[in-house]
Amino acid sequence: MEQTYHILRSCIDPIFIIFVFLLISFLICLISGKIKGGVLFLFLTIVLLYGFSIEPTSNYLSYGLEKDYIKNRSVGEKMKLDVIVALSGGSYYIRALDKTFPGETTMARLIHAVRMYKEYNAKYLVCSGKGDGKISDAALMAQMAEAFGVPKERIRIETKSENTYENAERFNKMFVDKDIKIGLVTSAYHMKRSETKFRKFFNNVIPLPADYLYASPAGTPAVRYIPQSQWLYNNTLVFREYVGQLWYGIKDI
């Protein structure tokens, strides 16, 4: 009974409804024999929409980006990091409230960064990113970090960078010593590109992924094969990241 509930709840998702309508349209075209030239195109559209909207595909593609950061790390003796740097993931401004709110990605990264700051006894927490809000993402993250217990004098902000490349470049200008131990906090799918850029300037960069797109299969098995907006969105992030890696690779040639 519980499995039936989860399946029915998944069927309410807009992507699943769109998929069903596309499938019905395809069957009508196929049965009626009309628009023969468009039947194949419609069929391919359905296949792509379905493939990119199910959990197994999302996990497979996400794992390709995050596999280097999905591993057990020995506890051992805890090292001390000099700086924890958190890269922002976006924010949004609501004019009627005259207030800027952190995006979900920014929030996940900031919370993890504060935890790492305390766990590794770092000297500084750096919040980096411009954003599109009335105040910068970095300033917004700094406010939250202070509310979460990080002393104000231990927080530094970098408010000008608009992308990963600039995150690394501007962070480089903040610290003269290139041998400091840096804990880099960003999303796991974004970590490889970020780590590559920061290692251009600093010798000791330790990746500390904040959140993952990949997740071990759980819950009702049938639901994993029902098209869902969540997996389509995850795959959108994956493709954007691959494009970002390609673009940065071209810039570095």
Residues with Cβ within 8 Å of residue 125, at least 6 apart in sequence: 83, 84, 85, 86, 113, 114, 117, 145, 150, 154, 155, 156
Question: What is residue 67's predicted lDDT score, i.e. its pLDDT?
Answer: 93
Q: What single-letter DSSP state applies at residue 145?
A: H
Nearest CA to 128 out of 76, 63, 61, 173 is that of: 173
CA 103 – CA 84 distance, rounded (Å): 20
Claim to verify: residue 101 and residue 200 sit in the same structural domain: yes
Please name every residue paired with 204 in a beta bridge, in sequence order, or none if there are none. 181
Claim to verify: residue 122 and residue 185 sit in the same structural domain: yes
Claim to verify: residue 105 and residue 195 sit in the same structural domain: yes
Ranking 3-7, 12-16, 21-25, 164-168 by mean pLDDT, the lowest is 3-7
**SS3 category, 149:** coil
Q: Is residue 212 part of a domain?
A: no
Claim to verify: residue 203 and residue 83 sit in the same structural domain: yes
Claim to verify: residue 156 and residue 233 sit in the same structural domain: no
Domain count along the chain: 2
Claim to verify: residue 117 and residue 11 sit in the same structural domain: no
Claim to verify: residue 48 and residue 93 sit in the same structural domain: no
Claim to verify: residue 241 and residue 191 sit in the same structural domain: no
Q: How do beta strands 91-94 and 99-102 pair?
A: antiparallel
Q: What is the pLDDT of residues 17-59, one digit of tens each?
A: 777 777 777 777 777 666 665 666 677 777 888 888 999 999 9
Question: Residue 62's domain spans which residues?
Answer: 2-66+222-251
Residues with Cβ within 8 Å of residue 21, at least 6 apart in sequence: none
pTM for the model: 0.83
Q: What is the pLDDT of residues 142-171, one digit of tens each?
A: 999 999 999 999 999 999 998 999 999 999
Claim to verify: residue 84 and residue 58 sit in the same structural domain: no
